[in-house]
Amino acid sequence: MIKTLSNNISFLRAMLYISALVILVVGALTYRSVTEVTKSSEMITHTYKVNVELEQILSYLKDAETGQRGYIITNDSVFLEPYLSARNRINNSFAELKVLTKNTPQLKSKLIDVNTLINKRLIAFKTSYRSLPKKDIEDPNFKSNFRNGKTLMDSIRDQIKGVIKLQNNLLNKRSDEYRSDLMATPLLLFSLLLCSLILIYLAYNSIYKNIKRLKIANEELEIFKESTNQSEIVSKHGSWTWDQNNDVFTFSDNLYRLLGEQPQSFEPTIQNFMQYVHPEDVEQLSQQVENMKKNVELPYIYYRVVHKNGNIKHLKAYGKSIINDEEETVLLGTTADITDEIISFRALEERNLELERNNQELSSFNYVASHDLQEPLRKIQTFLSRLEDEEAEKLSDRGTRYIDRIQNAATRMRLLIDDLLQFSRSNKADKVFEESNINLLLEAAKQDLAEVISAEDAVITSDAFPSMTVIPFQIQQLFVNLLGNAIKYKSEKRSPVINITHQVIEADNDPQITKPTKPFYHKITFTDNGIGFDNEYADQIFVLFSRLHNKDEYSGTGIGLSICKKIIENHKGHIIAKGKPSIGATFIIYLPID
Amino acid sequence: MKYLKTRRFTILILLVITTISLSFNSCDELIKNKDKEKQEQEQKNKSITNNKNEAKLLLMLSKDNHEVIKLSKTLQQIITKDSIADLVKTIEKTHINIAKEFSEVASDKLISIPNYTEVTMQQTIDHDNLNYKIQTLKKLRAKIDNQLYLLEKLSKTTNSKDFQNILSETDSKINKSLNKADNILNNLNTNS
């Protein structure tokens, strides 16, 4: 989202620059075009002015000619006025033309020729009416002069026409230029304005999309902000930021609440915050704040604050520095109220201690009871044995049967006491972990069971084990129990075959390991071909005194697998059992690798 | 981001400066252009007025010159004394030369002036009447005097250095003619 917006901002910036450039170009071209048009217009006006002045000169001459004729006809000097004023008027027109043709030498030379002809024509006027004797217009001399005047007038007219033609050509050329300017200018302006419009539309489109996106993002942010506020209230924590460059803090509303104050009720500064810190923690916290300012990191810190009503709250804070978009380092921190946790922890600690004490007492009791029970049992068995040896003949059949039953019960009780003793031993605190050779421990276990193995013709195969850090006598006991269990619950149809495998596994790759404490585990698998069991009893078999079979079918106390579980728990490992009735059982042990 | 912020600020400043400069420059340019246009138009109008005045004055001067030539010719007919007639002749020649010079200048300056060849003789009424001679001579003197006034005015009107030089030369020539006219007048008055 930020990346898209950033890209769009770049796009808009580019659009802005391009638009500005286009507008500048449009402005420059418009200025140039308008200047050109103005210039063209001025040139056309100039040409018209020249033509008008030339026409004026011709007109003055015509007036003079008309006046002369009027004078010849009427002999009234009033008609001579246009002739007499002609030169002045012509000079005025020439004065204008001189300025207008200042930059056109070709035109000037033509005008000099016109002026010469005009002078001649004006002389011819005078000559002709002076040569008129007594109103005799038929006089050949007068006629000749008059014709000469006409010739001169024609020459002037031609010359002026020539100049006007030259001017008209120039005018046409300028008109064409003016027209092409007029044609090109709107086309160019329109094209450029069209470009600008397209750019504006693109920019608008982009802005619209951005605004839409921003609106959605804002709504999401609002929801997020509200949910953060709520979660801060519910989870009793507040957040804060520290702008390192400007040394400015911001506190969230709930941080004020954690201090027992209303949101934003005081200026968020470290000095104001320190006023709430428990006097015993002020020094330590100040030191940590100084470190935070130096290292721009804040490790987990614990301190207490005192509310105005005297309540003491335990707080935990943590900060992490981030670099924002403006390349400024900002420390983001959270502060949590852990008062309830502390109280719970303390209660838990007390209960744990109590539990430990109870366990210890129970273990001691178990041990002592088991140990002390052996003595009377031994006596019972001894006296039963003497009774059998010495008084057997005196006993009736019923008495003998009763003694047998007592004997059996005493044996079972002995077994039970032995197992309980063993179980209590596995609970005892003297757990010394040693780097041990597991192969030797397995061999020792096999030796312990050598008689049974031999009697049942059991086959035990195993992988070679690496050395492990374990409590050796407990692991040996574990092996004894598991091997003994496999042989005890053998199938009637086949000799027991027990296979023991080992592998090192990664905790994350084995779903059987719940809540692993170490990344790698030893996995030891005991597989047998005994009677097996239904998997629904997989957990039950590890419960103390739990038995799946009647004591008449299989002897036992139901303590063996509980001891196994206890041993594995002592090693912070896991044990699971899987079984298939009539096919066999599998016990998998996971022991963590340090 | 800090760099970007600085860059954005720099671009903004540059844009503002450019806009202000362009605005000032364009406004300045517009004002200048308008002033220039106005000045040019004023200059043009001034030139036209100047040209008109120049033409008008040269035409008047030329007409007076023709009058001087015409009066010289008349005086030559009515003055019998050779020394005085020679003086008048000199005046005529001088003014014919002046007319030629004026004609050249007028042609170059696009001014229409009458040609000295147009000068026609007036029929003398009384050849021997001294009073007529004196009156004609006074008229000649007055015309020459007026020429000097017109010359001075024309010299002030024209901007052309060359023309001013010609006028200056003409002025000295006409002054001489005036002296001569004064001498003739004195002579005639003394003899009467």
Which chain B residue's Cα is nearest to A91? Answer: B111
What's the mean pLDDT in A176-199? Answer: 75
Burial (CB < 10 A; 0-12, 13-18, 19+), residue A581, is exposed
- Give the residue-averaged pLDDT of A376-380: 86
By CA distance, what is B19's nearest residue in A?
A24
CB atoms within 10 A of CB A590: 22
Contact A244, A295 (CB under 8 A): no
Closest by Cα among A44, A160, A33 to A93: A160
Provide the mean pLDDT of chain A: 84
Contact yes or no for A91 and B112 at CB 8 A? yes
Q: How confident is the model at residue B1 (pLDDT cuts 50, 70, 90)?
A: very low
Whether B48 sits inside 8 A of A99 (CB atoms) is yes
| Whether B54 and A95 lie within 8 Å, measured CB to CB | yes
pLDDT tens-digit series, residues B88-99: 899 999 999 999
Which of A159, A99, A495, A205 minimizes the C-alpha distance to B55? A99
Task: Answer for the pair B187, B84: CB distance below 8 angstroms, yes or no.
Answer: yes
pLDDT tier, A4 (very low <50, low <70, confident <90, very high otherwise): low
**Angle, helices B82-108/B161-191, rounded to nearest 10 degrees:** 160
Higher pLDDT, A142 or B62: B62
Q: Is B111 in the A-facing interface, judged by CB distances under 8 Å?
A: yes
Highest mean pLDDT among A404-408, B27-31, B125-129, B171-175: B171-175
Any bridge partners for residue A576, and if so which?
Answer: A588
The whole-number pLDDT of residue B128 equals 66
Q: Please name the residues in contact with A165: beta carbons below 8 A apart, sequence gap of 6 or more.
A: none
| Nearest residue of chain A to residue B1 (CA atoms) | A326
| Gyration radius from chain A CA atoms | 62
Cross-strand bridge partners of residue A500: A462, A526
A530 pLDDT band (50/70/90 cuts)? very high
The string of pLDDT tens digits covering residues A97-114 is 888 888 878 888 888 888
**Minimum CA–CA partner of B15 in chain A:** A20
What pLDDT was estimated at residue A584?
92
Q: Domains in chain A, start-ordered, CATH in brackets? A: 2-203 (1.20.120.1730), 236-337 (3.30.450.20), 344-429 (1.10.287.130), 431-592 (3.30.565.10)
For residue A20, give how far its alpha carbon lies from the nearest alpha carbon of chain B (Å): 10
Residue A509: count of CB within 10 angstroms of its CB: 7
Provide the pLDDT for residue A529.
Answer: 92
Q: Which range has the worst mean pLDDT, A29-43, A230-244, B30-44?
A: A29-43
User: Which helix (H) or strand (E) segment is A385 a member of?
Assistant: helix A339-391
* Rounded-to-integer distance, Cα B98 and Cα B114, Å: 13
Contact state of B2 with A326 under an 8 Å Cβ cutoff: yes
Q: Which residues of chain A lie closer than 8 angstroms to B48, CB-CB?
A: 95-96, 99
Answer whether residue A545 shows pLDDT above 80.
no
The Cα A275–Cα A310 span in angstroms is 13
At A261 the three-state DSSP class reads coil
Bridge partners, residue A42, by sequence: none
pLDDT classification of B192: cutoffs 50, 70, 90: low
Residue B5's DSSP bridge partners are none
Q: What is the pLDDT of residues A466-511, one digit of tens each?
A: 999 998 888 998 999 999 999 989 888 899 999 999 999 998 888 8
Which of A401-405, A461-465, B29-33 shows the lowest per-residue confidence on average (mean pLDDT)?
Answer: B29-33
To the nearest whole Å, the CA of B9 is away from the closest chain A CA by: 14
Residue to substitute from A16, A50, A61, A99, interface B, most B β-carbons within 10 A: A99
Least confident of A291-300, A433-442, B143-152, B173-182: A291-300
CB A313 within 8 A of CB A339: yes
* The pLDDT value given to residue A568: 92
Averaged pLDDT for residues A70-86: 85
- pLDDT by residue (tens digit) across B119-140? 776 665 556 677 888 888 888 8
Q: pLDDT grade, residue B21 (50/70/90)?
A: confident
Q: What's the mean pLDDT in A538-563?
A: 80
DSSP letter for each residue of B118-187: G--PPPPS-SS-HHHHHHHHHHHHHHHHHHHHHHHHHHHH---HHHHHHHHHHHHHHHHHHHHHHHHHHH
pLDDT at B26 over 70: no
Could you tell me how far CA A382 lies from the centroid of its own chain?
82
Number of A–B residue contacts, CB under 8 Å: 74
Please return the burial class of A553, using the count of CB atoms within 10 Å of its CB with bins 0-12, 13-18 and 19+.
exposed
CA distance A191 to chain B (A): 24
Pairing label, strands A574-580, A520-528:
unpaired
The per-residue pLDDT for A135 is 65
Higher-pLDDT residue of A564 and A294 is A564
CATH architecture of B56-191: Up-down Bundle (1.20)
Confidence band of A347 (pLDDT split at 50, 70, 90): very high
User: Given the structure tokens 């330590």, which residue do they identify?
Assistant: A284
Do residues B112 and A90 make contact, with C-beta atoms less than 8 angstroms apart?
A: yes
State the average pLDDT for chain B. Answer: 83
- Please determine, for residue B3, whether its predicted confidence score (pLDDT) is greater than 60: no
Query: Which residues of chain B are within 8 Å of residue A97 when distances are taken between CB atoms?
Result: 110
Compute the C-alpha angle B23/B29/B30, nearest 5°.
Answer: 90
DSSP characters over A561-585:
HHHHHHHHHHTT-EEEEEEETTTEE
Domains of chain B by residue range: 56-191
Classify A556 as helix, strand or coil.
Answer: coil
What's the one-letter identity of residue A224? F
Tell me the pTM.
0.49
Q: With 50 as the cut, is the pLDDT of residue A402 above it? A: yes
Mapped onto helix, strand or coil, the DSSP state of residue A133 is: coil
Q: Are strands A468-470 and A497-506 parallel, antiparallel or unpaired?
A: unpaired
**Cβ contacts of B38-44, under 8 Å, gap ≥ 24:** B44/A99
- The residue behind tokens 């300025």 is A99
Q: CB A492: neighbour CB atoms within 10 A? A: 6
pLDDT in tens, A39-56: 777 777 888 888 888 888
Q: The tokens of A66 are what?
A: 């008309």
Interatomic CA distance for residues A155 and A150, integer angstroms: 8
The whole-number pLDDT of residue B97 equals: 92
- Pair A586, A579: CB distance under 8 Å: yes
Question: Is A94 in contact with B55 (Cβ distance < 8 A)?
Answer: yes
Kindly report the three-state secondary structure assignment for every residue of A465-533: CCCEEECHHHHHHHHHHHHHHHHHCCCCCCCCEEEEEEEEEEHHHCCCCCCCCCCEEEEEEEEECCCCC
Q: A388 Cβ partners below 8 Å, 6+ apart?
A: A403, A407
**Are A568 and A591 spatial neighbours (Cβ–Cβ below 8 Å)?**
yes
Residue B76: CA count within 13 A, CB half-sphere: 16
Nearest chain A residue to B33 by CA: give it: A35
